[in-house]
Amino acid sequence: MTKVIVPDIGDFKDVEVIDVLVKPGDKVELETPLVTLETEKATMDVPSSAAGVVKAVSLKKGDRVSKGSLILEVEAAGAAASSPAPAAPKETAAPKETKAAAAATAVKAEASAADTMVREKLTPAPSAEPSGGPYDFDMVVLGAGPGGYTAAFRAADLGMKVALVERWPQLGGVCLNVGCIPSKALLHAAKVIEEAHEMEVAGVTFGKPQIDTAKLRGWKEKVVSKLTGGLGILAKQRKVEVIRGIGKFVSPHEMQIANTDMTPQSTVLSKGENAPGEGARKISFKHCIIAAGSESVRLPGLPDDPRIIDSTGALEIDLPKRMLVIGGGIIGLEMACVYDALGVKVSVVELTDGLIPGCDRDLVRPLEKRIAKRYEKIMVKTKVTKLEALKEGIRVTFEGEQAIEPQIYDKVLVAVGRSPNGKKIGAEAAGVVVNERGFIPVDKQMRTNVSHIFAIGDVVGQPMLAHKASHEGKLAAEVAHGEKRYFDARVIPSVAYTDPEIAWVGVTETEAKAKGIAFEKGSFPWSANARSLTLGRDDGMTKVLFDPTTHRVIGGGIVGPNAGDLISEIALAIEMNSDAGDLGMTIHPHPTLSETVMFSAEAFEGTLTDLYVPKKTAARAK
- Known catalytic residues are 590
User: Residues 169, 262: contact at Cβ < 8 Å?
Assistant: yes
> What are the start-end ranges of the H helices in 206-307?
213-237
Q: Reduced to 3 states, what is the DSSP secondary structure of residue 5?
A: strand
Q: Which residues contact 399 (CB under 8 A, 6 or more apart)?
A: 382, 383, 384, 385
Q: CA angle, corner 290, sides to 284 and 293, nearest 5?
A: 140
Contact 270, 165 (CB under 8 A): no
Q: Which residues of 347-372 are buried (b: 16+ CB within 10 A; e: fewer)?
A: bbbbbeeebbbbbbeebbbbbeebbe
- Taking the C-alpha atoms of residue 514 and residue 491, their distance in angstroms, rounded to an integer, is 18
Q: How far apart are CA 414 and CA 299, in angstroms?
A: 8
Q: How many CA atoms lie within 13 A of 271 on its CB side?
A: 8
Sheet holding 393-400, edge to edge: 382-390, 393-400, 407-409
Using DSSP bridges, classify how beta strands 254-258 and 281-290 pair: parallel, antiparallel or unpaired.
Answer: antiparallel
Crossing angle (nearest 10°) for helices 146-157 and 213-237: 20
Cα separations in angstroms, 352 against 306, 327, 329: 27, 9, 10
Q: Which pairing describes strands 494-496 and 246-251: parallel, antiparallel, or unpaired?
A: unpaired
> In Å, how far are 28, 84, 296, 428 from 435, measured between CA atoms?
52, 47, 18, 11
How far apart CA 501 and CA 407 sit, in angstroms, is 30
Q: Any idea what DSSP says for residue 263? A: -
Show the DSSP H helices in 408-465 as ranges.
Answer: 427-430
Q: Where are the beta strands (DSSP E) in 439-577?
A: 453-455, 494-496, 502-506, 520-525, 541-546, 553-559
Asked if 14 and 95 touch (Cβ cutoff 8 Å), the reply is: no
**Cβ atoms of 469 and 146 closer than 8 Å:** yes
Query: 325: closest CA among 342, 350, 344?
Result: 350
